[in-house]
Amino acid sequence: MTVARGIQFDEPPIFERGAPGRSGASLPGFDVPRVAPAEAFGPLARRTAAALPEVSEPEAFRHFVRLSQQNYCIDTQMYPLGSCTMKYNPKINEWAARQPELSGLHPLTPPELAQGSLEVMWRLGRMLCEITGLDDCALSPAAGAQGELTGLMLIRAWHRAEGRSPRKVFIPESAHGTNPATCTLCGLEAVKIPKSDDGLVHPEEVLRTIEREGKGDVCALMITNPNTLGLFESHLPEIAKLIHQHGGLVYGDGANTNAIMGKVRPGDLGMDVVHINLHKTFTTPHGGGGPGAGPICFVKKLSPFAPVPLLVREGEHFRLDASRPQSIGRVRAFQGNFGMFIRAYTYIREMGADGLSLASSLAVLNARYLWSQLKDSYDVASDRPCMHEVVLTDESLEKKTGVKTLDVAKRLLDYGFHSPTVYFPLVVKGALMIEPTETETKQTLDEFAAAMKAIAAEAAADGEKVKSAPHLTRVGRLDEARAARKPRLRWTSEQGRD
């Protein structure tokens, strides 16, 4: 088993290192006359020098490397954060994105001089259309949530063009929190479809909810597939038909596409618009590792409303079309996160159609393997075989031992694993949501399962050990409420460290 051992530095802020006059910089001499700040900036000039750290190159380098070692990352260990699809980011993506012809391109370069880059974006859009089974694509939204907003705005614009303004958006109770939030931001009304016993959305329940809450006012259904319990929504075609019969459109939250690539296409299931998180399914970095990208794919009838500028191909020429009178307008500066498009394009080309389909098979296989390994030690949220993620509940664990999901998550850190997602989805009591992704080997999965089983055994023998975890990390259990409400984000010399 991989054991977390070794030296970890308790690194102080860089302001506490160095000495006056020490420097690691080697800059060319001035080739312009020296000017005193007061002369150049007048009353705006600083009166005292800024208290900048003065450190040598090794000091600066070590400081940042040590800080980076305090981070848990996908390059050091499995990152089983459910719903987030923390896939390994292949290094060839980085190589491609760093080619100077691509990384050095200014976003205001005239399209005539950026034909190659526009072609890559166009090809990526076509690939996403093929994967989703939809007609057109807009790459620009900067995250899944912004893709949701853009997609719902397209649906709203379509209704308006048809002379209607329905307001109700039907959303299953198990939806990702961004779905109802998006709906509210779009000025629409989120209507909850209650959770069913088997964790799936059923046409009868959708119909009941429509009749109870909003007949004649159906704007859309927003549905995630596979859903946030890790289950495949097997009634989607009937549900989509029902929504269409009531005049609405179907929004597919495609953030979980990693489980179904090359197996089933959302467009074939009746979805009208879908967003895809490139930073989940298509191996571009998440969060602090890089900006996201949440392109949307949609049916032809929504194309007139697509955000501008829309990338269009005319023969062998690529053009940015900004003169679209029915467009919802611009949602993002320039064309979106271009570096992410290069990474996703590289990944798709590297994998090929068969490779993507295999990735989905392995993502599901890995999750089902963990499900089979853990179901005797923990309660699973659903008895049905899962898709890409396993959801556990602390229902009986807490009753028997007093140990809760948060305790298990903290104790996992002692075993060298990042915690899975906790307390989501909300419909599961004390949810612990594990998404291993396809790149983890059986050996790593076995190590993770062994750690989880060991924690269950510890909880049964001595709950306190788990409840007070972590014990082996640089800092122990934090006051999470205080950290969230009173974060100290800035170092000042008066305050020093505590």
Ligand X SMILES: Cc1ncc(COP(=O)(O)O)c(C=O)c1O
- Which residues contribute to the site for ligand X (CB under 6 A)? 83-84, 143-145, 176, 178, 224, 253, 255-256, 277, 292, 294
Q: In terms of CB distance, is 420 or 463 closer to ligand X?
A: 420
Residue appearing with tokens 């209607």: 164
Q: In terms of CB distance, is 267 or 294 closer to ligand X?
A: 294
Q: How far is the CB of 143 from ligand X (least distance, A)?
A: 4
Report the distance separating Cα 408 and Cα 387, nearest Å.
23
* C-alpha distances in Å from residue 381, one per residue of 313, 391, 432: 47, 5, 9
Q: How far is the CB of 275 from ligand X (least distance, A)?
A: 8
Q: In terms of CB distance, is 176 or 265 closer to ligand X?
A: 176
**Other CB atoms within 10 Å distance of the CB of residue 485:** 8
Report the distance separating Cα 193 and Cα 216, nearest Å.
17
User: Which DSSP string corresponds to 182-215?
Assistant: HHHHTT-EEEEEPPPTTSS--HHHHHHHHHHHTT
Supply 239's token pair: 């549900």
Q: How far is the CB of 156 from ligand X (least distance, A)?
A: 19
Backbone angles phi, psi at 321, to 5 degrees: -95, 110
Q: How far is the CB of 431 from ligand X (least distance, A)?
A: 13
Do 142 and 375 meet the contact criterion of CB atoms below 8 Å apart? no
Backbone angles phi, psi at 375, to 5 degrees: -70, -20
Q: How far is the CB of 374 from ligand X (least distance, A)?
A: 21
Backbone angles phi, psi at 265, to 5 degrees: -115, 130
Supply 343's token pair: 């990474």
Q: Which residues partner with 220 through β-bridges?
A: 169, 249
Overall size of the chain counted in residues = 498
Q: Which of the 8 DSSP states describes residue 43?
A: G
User: Which DSSP string corresponds to 217-267?
Assistant: -EEEEEEESS-TTS---TTHHHHHHHHHHTT-EEEEE-TTGGGTTTT--GG
Q: How far is the CB of 119 from ligand X (least distance, A)?
A: 26
Q: How far is the CB of 142 from ligand X (least distance, A)?
A: 8
Residue nearest to ligand X (CB): 144
Q: In terms of CB distance, is 81 or 449 closer to ligand X?
A: 81
Do 463 and 403 meet the contact criterion of CB atoms below 8 Å apart? yes
Q: In terms of CB distance, is 140 or 224 closer to ligand X?
A: 224
Report the distance separating Cα 395 and Cα 403, nearest Å.
10
Q: In terms of CB distance, is 256 or 346 closer to ligand X?
A: 256
Q: In terms of CB distance, is 84 or 155 closer to ligand X?
A: 84
Q: In terms of CB distance, is 84 or 387 closer to ligand X?
A: 84
Q: How far is the CB of 254 from ligand X (least distance, A)?
A: 8
Q: In terms of CB distance, is 251 or 378 closer to ligand X?
A: 251
Q: How far is the CB of 334 from ligand X (least distance, A)?
A: 19
- Reported as type and span, the H/E element at residue 314 is strand 310-314
Where does 394-481 show beta strands of DSSP type E? 421-422, 432-434
Q: How far is the CB of 145 from ligand X (least distance, A)?
A: 3
Q: In terms of CB distance, is 224 or 393 closer to ligand X?
A: 224
Q: In terms of CB distance, is 175 or 455 closer to ligand X?
A: 175
Q: How far is the CB of 227 from ligand X (least distance, A)?
A: 8
Nearest Cα neighbor of 61 from 129, 3, 14 is 14
Do 348 and 356 meet the contact criterion of CB atoms below 8 Å apart? yes
* C-alpha distances in Å from residue 94, one per residue of 77, 125, 129, 181, 345: 19, 20, 24, 33, 12
